[in-house]
Chains A and B, each alone.
Chain A
Amino acid sequence: MTVRYTEQPERPLAPVGEAAFHQWVFPDGTLWTQFFRQGAGYLLRFPELADFEVSADGCTVQGFPAPGVSSPTVEHLYLNQVMPLALSRQGKLVLHGSAVDIGGQGVAFLGESGRGKSTLAASFATEGTRFLTDDGLLLEWLDDRCMILPSHPSIRLWEDSQDALVSERTAMAPAVSFTSKSRFLAGPGIAFCDEARPLRRLFFLGEGEVETPTIEPLRPAEALIELVKHSFLLDIEARDMLARHFDALTRMAGLPFYFRLDYPRRYNALAAVREAVIRHALEQKESIEHEVV
Protein backbone atom coordinates (compact mmCIF):
# COMPACT_ATOMS: atom_id res chain seq x y z
CA MET A 1 0.00 0.00 0.00
CA THR A 2 1.29 3.40 -0.85
CA VAL A 3 -0.54 5.61 1.64
CA ARG A 4 1.34 7.02 4.66
CA TYR A 5 -1.00 6.94 7.62
CA THR A 6 -0.53 8.40 11.08
CA GLU A 7 -3.01 8.58 13.89
CA GLN A 8 -3.03 11.88 15.76
CA PRO A 9 -4.31 12.63 19.28
CA GLU A 10 -8.10 12.89 19.62
CA ARG A 11 -9.78 16.22 18.94
CA PRO A 12 -13.37 17.50 18.81
CA LEU A 13 -14.96 17.36 15.35
CA ALA A 14 -15.24 21.15 14.92
CA PRO A 15 -17.84 22.63 12.52
CA VAL A 16 -16.49 23.07 8.98
CA GLY A 17 -17.02 26.45 7.32
CA GLU A 18 -17.89 25.25 3.84
CA ALA A 19 -20.60 22.78 2.91
CA ALA A 20 -19.61 19.19 2.15
CA PHE A 21 -19.12 18.61 -1.59
CA HIS A 22 -20.24 15.02 -1.26
CA GLN A 23 -21.63 12.63 1.34
CA TRP A 24 -22.45 8.99 1.92
CA VAL A 25 -25.77 8.24 3.58
CA PHE A 26 -27.08 4.85 4.73
CA PRO A 27 -30.39 3.63 3.24
CA ASP A 28 -32.13 4.58 6.51
CA GLY A 29 -30.97 8.19 6.09
CA THR A 30 -28.14 8.12 8.64
CA LEU A 31 -25.19 10.24 7.61
CA TRP A 32 -22.08 8.06 7.33
CA THR A 33 -19.37 10.17 5.69
CA GLN A 34 -18.99 13.82 4.71
CA PHE A 35 -16.43 14.95 2.14
CA PHE A 36 -15.02 18.48 2.54
CA ARG A 37 -12.30 20.38 0.72
CA GLN A 38 -9.49 21.58 2.95
CA GLY A 39 -6.93 23.72 1.16
CA ALA A 40 -5.81 21.61 -1.79
CA GLY A 41 -6.62 18.39 0.09
CA TYR A 42 -9.65 16.83 1.73
CA LEU A 43 -11.28 16.35 5.11
CA LEU A 44 -13.34 13.17 5.51
CA ARG A 45 -15.66 13.22 8.50
CA PHE A 46 -17.35 10.21 10.08
CA PRO A 47 -19.76 12.02 12.43
CA GLU A 48 -19.07 11.33 16.13
CA LEU A 49 -16.23 8.94 15.19
CA ALA A 50 -13.28 10.60 13.48
CA ASP A 51 -11.88 13.09 11.00
CA PHE A 52 -9.31 12.15 8.39
CA GLU A 53 -7.17 14.67 6.55
CA VAL A 54 -6.14 13.43 3.13
CA SER A 55 -3.43 15.19 1.11
CA ALA A 56 -4.29 16.46 -2.38
CA ASP A 57 -2.33 13.61 -3.99
CA GLY A 58 -3.91 10.94 -1.75
CA CYS A 59 -0.48 9.83 -0.49
CA THR A 60 -0.76 11.00 3.13
CA VAL A 61 -3.58 10.53 5.63
CA GLN A 62 -3.86 11.68 9.22
CA GLY A 63 -6.58 10.28 11.47
CA PHE A 64 -8.09 12.28 14.34
CA PRO A 65 -10.36 10.28 16.68
CA ALA A 66 -13.32 12.14 18.15
CA PRO A 67 -13.06 12.37 21.98
CA GLY A 68 -13.60 8.95 23.55
CA VAL A 69 -13.36 6.95 20.30
CA SER A 70 -10.87 4.08 20.45
CA SER A 71 -7.83 3.69 18.27
CA PRO A 72 -8.98 0.33 16.74
CA THR A 73 -12.20 2.03 15.58
CA VAL A 74 -10.26 4.75 13.81
CA GLU A 75 -7.81 2.28 12.30
CA HIS A 76 -10.72 0.19 11.08
CA LEU A 77 -12.34 3.22 9.41
CA TYR A 78 -9.02 4.04 7.85
CA LEU A 79 -8.43 0.56 6.41
CA ASN A 80 -11.94 0.01 5.07
CA GLN A 81 -13.10 3.45 3.99
CA VAL A 82 -10.38 6.08 3.92
CA MET A 83 -7.47 4.15 2.46
CA PRO A 84 -9.50 3.00 -0.60
CA LEU A 85 -10.59 6.62 -1.16
CA ALA A 86 -7.00 7.90 -0.81
CA LEU A 87 -5.81 5.23 -3.26
CA SER A 88 -8.51 6.33 -5.72
CA ARG A 89 -7.04 9.86 -5.56
CA GLN A 90 -3.73 8.32 -6.66
CA GLY A 91 -5.53 6.95 -9.71
CA LYS A 92 -5.76 3.40 -8.35
CA LEU A 93 -8.82 1.29 -8.85
CA VAL A 94 -10.54 0.10 -5.67
CA LEU A 95 -13.95 -1.60 -5.64
CA HIS A 96 -16.34 -2.53 -2.83
CA GLY A 97 -15.72 -6.24 -2.94
CA SER A 98 -14.15 -9.35 -1.50
CA ALA A 99 -12.03 -11.90 -3.35
CA VAL A 100 -10.68 -15.43 -3.01
CA ASP A 101 -8.03 -17.51 -4.78
CA ILE A 102 -9.50 -20.49 -6.63
CA GLY A 103 -6.86 -22.58 -8.37
CA GLY A 104 -4.45 -19.65 -8.62
CA GLN A 105 -7.11 -17.33 -10.09
CA GLY A 106 -8.79 -14.36 -8.46
CA VAL A 107 -12.55 -14.62 -8.01
CA ALA A 108 -14.22 -11.46 -6.73
CA PHE A 109 -17.64 -10.71 -5.20
CA LEU A 110 -19.09 -7.20 -5.42
CA GLY A 111 -22.14 -5.86 -3.69
CA GLU A 112 -23.52 -3.17 -1.45
CA SER A 113 -22.99 -3.31 2.27
CA GLY A 114 -25.01 -6.17 3.73
CA ARG A 115 -25.11 -8.26 0.55
CA GLY A 116 -22.76 -10.85 2.06
CA LYS A 117 -19.34 -10.15 0.51
CA SER A 118 -17.40 -10.73 3.72
CA THR A 119 -19.52 -13.68 4.79
CA LEU A 120 -18.93 -15.38 1.45
CA ALA A 121 -15.16 -14.71 1.59
CA ALA A 122 -15.07 -16.01 5.19
CA SER A 123 -17.06 -19.06 4.18
CA PHE A 124 -14.40 -19.89 1.59
CA ALA A 125 -11.49 -19.04 3.90
CA THR A 126 -12.70 -21.21 6.78
CA GLU A 127 -12.98 -24.11 4.32
CA GLY A 128 -9.38 -23.64 3.16
CA THR A 129 -9.90 -21.52 0.02
CA ARG A 130 -7.65 -18.54 0.64
CA PHE A 131 -9.12 -15.02 0.64
CA LEU A 132 -7.36 -11.99 -0.87
CA THR A 133 -9.54 -9.28 0.63
CA ASP A 134 -12.84 -9.08 2.48
CA ASP A 135 -13.58 -5.49 1.39
CA GLY A 136 -11.67 -2.88 -0.59
CA LEU A 137 -10.76 -4.82 -3.74
CA LEU A 138 -7.56 -3.22 -5.07
CA LEU A 139 -6.88 -3.88 -8.76
CA GLU A 140 -3.83 -3.18 -10.86
CA TRP A 141 -3.01 -3.90 -14.49
CA LEU A 142 0.12 -5.94 -15.08
CA ASP A 143 0.67 -5.91 -18.86
CA ASP A 144 -2.70 -7.12 -20.15
CA ARG A 145 -3.77 -8.85 -16.93
CA CYS A 146 -5.94 -7.26 -14.28
CA MET A 147 -4.46 -8.34 -10.93
CA ILE A 148 -6.12 -8.43 -7.50
CA LEU A 149 -3.70 -7.25 -4.82
CA PRO A 150 -4.03 -8.81 -1.35
CA SER A 151 -5.26 -6.45 1.35
CA HIS A 152 -5.27 -6.50 5.15
CA PRO A 153 -5.30 -10.15 6.34
CA SER A 154 -8.48 -9.87 8.37
CA ILE A 155 -12.19 -10.39 7.82
CA ARG A 156 -14.99 -8.38 9.40
CA LEU A 157 -18.16 -10.25 10.20
CA TRP A 158 -21.49 -9.53 11.80
CA GLU A 159 -22.21 -11.51 14.96
CA ASP A 160 -24.50 -14.08 13.33
CA SER A 161 -21.88 -14.82 10.66
CA GLN A 162 -19.23 -15.21 13.33
CA ASP A 163 -21.29 -17.81 15.14
CA ALA A 164 -21.95 -19.74 11.95
CA LEU A 165 -18.50 -19.60 10.38
CA VAL A 166 -15.63 -18.91 12.72
CA SER A 167 -14.32 -21.18 15.42
CA GLU A 168 -13.71 -19.80 18.89
CA ARG A 169 -9.98 -20.43 18.54
CA THR A 170 -9.60 -17.87 15.74
CA ALA A 171 -7.72 -14.75 16.78
CA MET A 172 -9.89 -11.66 16.97
CA ALA A 173 -8.57 -8.14 16.43
CA PRO A 174 -9.57 -5.49 19.01
CA ALA A 175 -13.29 -4.78 18.80
CA VAL A 176 -14.54 -1.66 17.08
CA SER A 177 -17.27 0.40 18.61
CA PHE A 178 -19.50 1.57 15.75
CA THR A 179 -20.80 -1.73 14.43
CA SER A 180 -21.38 -5.13 15.91
CA LYS A 181 -18.94 -6.46 13.35
CA SER A 182 -15.74 -8.03 14.65
CA ARG A 183 -12.49 -8.42 12.77
CA PHE A 184 -10.92 -11.86 12.54
CA LEU A 185 -7.26 -12.19 11.74
CA ALA A 186 -6.10 -14.66 9.11
CA GLY A 187 -4.42 -17.72 10.60
CA PRO A 188 -4.80 -21.48 10.70
CA GLY A 189 -8.61 -21.25 10.73
CA ILE A 190 -8.92 -18.50 8.11
CA ALA A 191 -6.75 -19.00 5.02
CA PHE A 192 -5.24 -15.87 3.46
CA CYS A 193 -3.50 -15.44 0.10
CA ASP A 194 -0.74 -12.83 0.36
CA GLU A 195 0.19 -12.76 -3.33
CA ALA A 196 -1.49 -10.96 -6.22
CA ARG A 197 -3.79 -13.08 -8.38
CA PRO A 198 -5.15 -12.42 -11.89
CA LEU A 199 -8.84 -11.54 -11.83
CA ARG A 200 -10.74 -14.25 -13.70
CA ARG A 201 -14.30 -13.99 -12.42
CA LEU A 202 -16.29 -11.16 -10.99
CA PHE A 203 -19.67 -11.83 -9.44
CA PHE A 204 -22.16 -9.10 -8.52
CA LEU A 205 -24.21 -10.35 -5.58
CA GLY A 206 -28.00 -10.36 -6.02
CA GLU A 207 -30.66 -9.76 -3.41
CA GLY A 208 -31.05 -13.34 -2.22
CA GLU A 209 -34.58 -13.92 -3.47
CA VAL A 210 -33.85 -17.33 -4.99
CA GLU A 211 -34.02 -20.87 -3.66
CA THR A 212 -30.83 -22.26 -5.22
CA PRO A 213 -27.58 -20.59 -6.38
CA THR A 214 -27.97 -18.94 -9.80
CA ILE A 215 -25.25 -17.52 -12.04
CA GLU A 216 -26.19 -15.32 -15.02
CA PRO A 217 -23.81 -13.53 -17.39
CA LEU A 218 -23.90 -9.71 -17.62
CA ARG A 219 -23.47 -7.67 -20.79
CA PRO A 220 -20.38 -5.39 -20.79
CA ALA A 221 -22.54 -2.24 -20.48
CA GLU A 222 -24.40 -3.71 -17.50
CA ALA A 223 -21.05 -4.65 -15.96
CA LEU A 224 -19.76 -1.10 -16.49
CA ILE A 225 -22.71 0.45 -14.68
CA GLU A 226 -22.27 -2.00 -11.79
CA LEU A 227 -18.51 -1.34 -11.65
CA VAL A 228 -19.10 2.41 -11.46
CA LYS A 229 -21.62 1.91 -8.62
CA HIS A 230 -19.22 -0.29 -6.66
CA SER A 231 -16.02 1.74 -6.98
CA PHE A 232 -14.38 4.13 -4.55
CA LEU A 233 -13.75 7.66 -5.83
CA LEU A 234 -12.62 10.43 -3.47
CA ASP A 235 -13.17 13.49 -5.62
CA ILE A 236 -16.26 13.11 -7.74
CA GLU A 237 -15.98 16.74 -8.89
CA ALA A 238 -12.49 16.51 -10.38
CA ARG A 239 -13.46 15.96 -13.98
CA ASP A 240 -10.07 14.76 -15.18
CA MET A 241 -9.95 12.15 -12.40
CA LEU A 242 -13.51 11.12 -13.13
CA ALA A 243 -12.73 10.71 -16.84
CA ARG A 244 -9.68 8.55 -16.07
CA HIS A 245 -11.68 6.53 -13.56
CA PHE A 246 -14.46 5.97 -16.10
CA ASP A 247 -11.86 4.95 -18.71
CA ALA A 248 -10.28 2.46 -16.29
CA LEU A 249 -13.65 0.92 -15.51
CA THR A 250 -14.58 0.81 -19.21
CA ARG A 251 -11.35 -1.10 -19.91
CA MET A 252 -12.26 -3.51 -17.13
CA ALA A 253 -15.84 -3.89 -18.37
CA GLY A 254 -14.48 -5.17 -21.68
CA LEU A 255 -13.13 -8.28 -19.94
CA PRO A 256 -15.24 -11.39 -20.46
CA PHE A 257 -16.08 -12.55 -16.94
CA TYR A 258 -18.95 -10.66 -15.32
CA PHE A 259 -21.84 -12.53 -13.76
CA ARG A 260 -24.70 -11.97 -11.36
CA LEU A 261 -24.59 -14.48 -8.51
CA ASP A 262 -27.62 -14.95 -6.34
CA TYR A 263 -28.30 -17.43 -3.58
CA PRO A 264 -30.49 -17.75 -0.50
CA ARG A 265 -28.95 -15.94 2.47
CA ARG A 266 -28.85 -18.92 4.80
CA TYR A 267 -25.65 -20.24 6.32
CA ASN A 268 -26.57 -23.81 5.50
CA ALA A 269 -26.80 -22.79 1.82
CA LEU A 270 -23.22 -21.54 1.65
CA ALA A 271 -21.67 -24.93 0.86
CA ALA A 272 -23.78 -25.12 -2.31
CA VAL A 273 -22.78 -21.55 -3.22
CA ARG A 274 -19.08 -22.34 -2.81
CA GLU A 275 -19.47 -25.44 -4.91
CA ALA A 276 -21.29 -23.53 -7.69
CA VAL A 277 -18.68 -20.75 -7.70
CA ILE A 278 -15.72 -23.15 -7.74
CA ARG A 279 -17.24 -25.23 -10.51
CA HIS A 280 -17.98 -22.12 -12.56
CA ALA A 281 -14.47 -20.67 -12.06
CA LEU A 282 -12.71 -23.93 -12.88
CA GLU A 283 -14.88 -24.59 -15.95
CA GLN A 284 -13.69 -21.33 -17.43
CA LYS A 285 -10.08 -22.10 -16.56
CA GLU A 286 -10.31 -25.42 -18.36
CA SER A 287 -11.87 -23.83 -21.43
CA ILE A 288 -9.12 -21.21 -21.57
CA GLU A 289 -6.41 -23.86 -21.22
CA HIS A 290 -8.11 -25.86 -23.92
CA GLU A 291 -8.09 -22.86 -26.26
CA VAL A 292 -4.41 -22.24 -25.54
CA VAL A 293 -3.58 -25.86 -26.36
Chain B
Amino acid sequence: MKLSDKVYISSQAMARTVGDETVILDLASGTYFGLDPVGARMWQLMTDGQTLAAICDTLLDEYEVTRETLEGDILRLTEELRAKGLVSLA
Protein backbone atom coordinates (compact mmCIF):
# COMPACT_ATOMS: atom_id res chain seq x y z
CA MET B 1 0.00 0.00 0.00
CA LYS B 2 1.34 3.43 -1.01
CA LEU B 3 0.15 6.95 -0.36
CA SER B 4 -0.22 7.44 -4.11
CA ASP B 5 -2.88 4.65 -4.18
CA LYS B 6 -6.50 5.58 -4.83
CA VAL B 7 -9.15 4.04 -2.60
CA TYR B 8 -12.31 2.47 -3.96
CA ILE B 9 -15.28 1.61 -1.77
CA SER B 10 -16.45 -1.98 -2.20
CA SER B 11 -20.01 -2.69 -3.33
CA GLN B 12 -20.37 -4.88 -0.23
CA ALA B 13 -20.08 -1.80 2.03
CA MET B 14 -23.14 0.24 2.93
CA ALA B 15 -22.35 3.23 5.15
CA ARG B 16 -24.51 5.68 7.07
CA THR B 17 -23.50 8.68 9.12
CA VAL B 18 -25.17 9.32 12.43
CA GLY B 19 -24.05 12.19 14.63
CA ASP B 20 -20.35 12.66 13.80
CA GLU B 21 -19.69 8.93 13.44
CA THR B 22 -20.16 6.47 10.61
CA VAL B 23 -21.44 2.90 10.71
CA ILE B 24 -20.49 0.62 7.81
CA LEU B 25 -22.60 -2.46 7.16
CA ASP B 26 -20.59 -5.25 5.54
CA LEU B 27 -23.15 -6.94 3.29
CA ALA B 28 -20.91 -9.95 2.70
CA SER B 29 -20.52 -10.90 6.34
CA GLY B 30 -23.52 -9.13 7.89
CA THR B 31 -21.21 -7.43 10.40
CA TYR B 32 -20.88 -3.78 11.34
CA PHE B 33 -17.93 -1.51 11.57
CA GLY B 34 -18.02 1.79 13.45
CA LEU B 35 -15.81 4.77 12.60
CA ASP B 36 -15.08 7.58 15.07
CA PRO B 37 -15.33 11.22 13.86
CA VAL B 38 -11.82 11.25 12.32
CA GLY B 39 -12.34 7.81 10.73
CA ALA B 40 -15.73 8.99 9.46
CA ARG B 41 -14.08 12.01 7.78
CA MET B 42 -11.44 9.72 6.20
CA TRP B 43 -14.20 7.46 4.89
CA GLN B 44 -16.04 10.44 3.43
CA LEU B 45 -12.91 11.50 1.55
CA MET B 46 -12.32 7.90 0.40
CA THR B 47 -15.79 7.86 -1.17
CA ASP B 48 -14.62 10.74 -3.40
CA GLY B 49 -12.05 8.39 -4.95
CA GLN B 50 -9.04 10.42 -3.81
CA THR B 51 -5.52 9.13 -3.31
CA LEU B 52 -4.37 8.49 0.23
CA ALA B 53 -1.91 11.38 -0.16
CA ALA B 54 -4.71 13.79 -1.15
CA ILE B 55 -6.82 12.60 1.81
CA CYS B 56 -3.83 13.21 4.05
CA ASP B 57 -3.37 16.77 2.71
CA THR B 58 -7.04 17.58 3.32
CA LEU B 59 -6.98 16.24 6.87
CA LEU B 60 -3.76 18.12 7.69
CA ASP B 61 -5.70 21.34 7.08
CA GLU B 62 -8.54 20.19 9.34
CA TYR B 63 -6.80 18.64 12.34
CA GLU B 64 -3.86 19.65 14.48
CA VAL B 65 -1.68 16.64 13.83
CA THR B 66 1.76 15.94 12.37
CA ARG B 67 1.96 14.53 8.85
CA GLU B 68 3.83 11.50 10.16
CA THR B 69 1.12 10.60 12.71
CA LEU B 70 -1.67 11.21 10.22
CA GLU B 71 -0.06 9.11 7.47
CA GLY B 72 0.34 6.27 9.96
CA ASP B 73 -3.32 6.56 11.00
CA ILE B 74 -4.59 6.66 7.42
CA LEU B 75 -2.52 3.65 6.36
CA ARG B 76 -3.64 1.69 9.42
CA LEU B 77 -7.35 2.40 8.89
CA THR B 78 -7.09 1.73 5.16
CA GLU B 79 -5.38 -1.60 5.81
CA GLU B 80 -8.07 -2.56 8.30
CA LEU B 81 -10.84 -1.68 5.83
CA ARG B 82 -9.01 -3.48 3.01
CA ALA B 83 -8.59 -6.62 5.14
CA LYS B 84 -12.37 -6.64 5.70
CA GLY B 85 -12.99 -6.24 1.97
CA LEU B 86 -14.67 -2.87 2.45
CA VAL B 87 -12.23 -0.97 0.21
CA SER B 88 -9.77 -1.80 -2.54
CA LEU B 89 -6.71 0.10 -3.74
CA ALA B 90 -5.38 0.87 -7.19
Residues of chain A whose beta carbon lies under 8 Å from any beta carbon of chain B: 219-225, 228-229, 236, 239, 242-243, 246-247, 250, 253-254
Contacts and interface: CB of A to CB of B under 8 A. Distances in A.
B14 A250 contact: no
What does DSSP make chain B's interface, helix, strand, loop or mixed?
strand
B60 interface: no
A254 B30 contact: no
Nearest to A252: B18
Contact of B23 (A225, A239, A242, A243): A225
14 contacts: A219-B19, A220-B21, A222-B34, A225-B34, A228-B25, A242-B14, A242-B25, A242-B27, A243-B14, A246-B14, A246-B25, A250-B16, A250-B18, A253-B18
Contact of A246 (B16, B19, B22, B34): B16
Contacts of A239: 27
B18 A220 contact: yes
Contacts of A222: 34
Nearest to B35: A221
A224 B23 contact: yes
A229 B18 CA distance: 16
Interface in B20-64: 21-23, 25, 27, 30, 32, 34
Contacts of A236: 30
Contacts of A250: 16-18, 23
B23 A219 contact: no
A77 B27 CA distance: 28
A224 B30 CA distance: 14
Nearest to B34: A221
A222 B23 CA distance: 9
A229 B19 CA distance: 19
Contacts of B17: 250
Contacts of B34: 221-222, 225
Given A221-B22, A224-B16, 18 more contacts: A220-B18, A220-B21, A221-B19, A221-B21, A222-B34, A223-B18, A224-B23, A225-B34, A228-B23, A236-B30, A242-B25, A243-B14, A246-B14, A246-B16, A247-B16, A250-B17, A250-B23, A253-B18
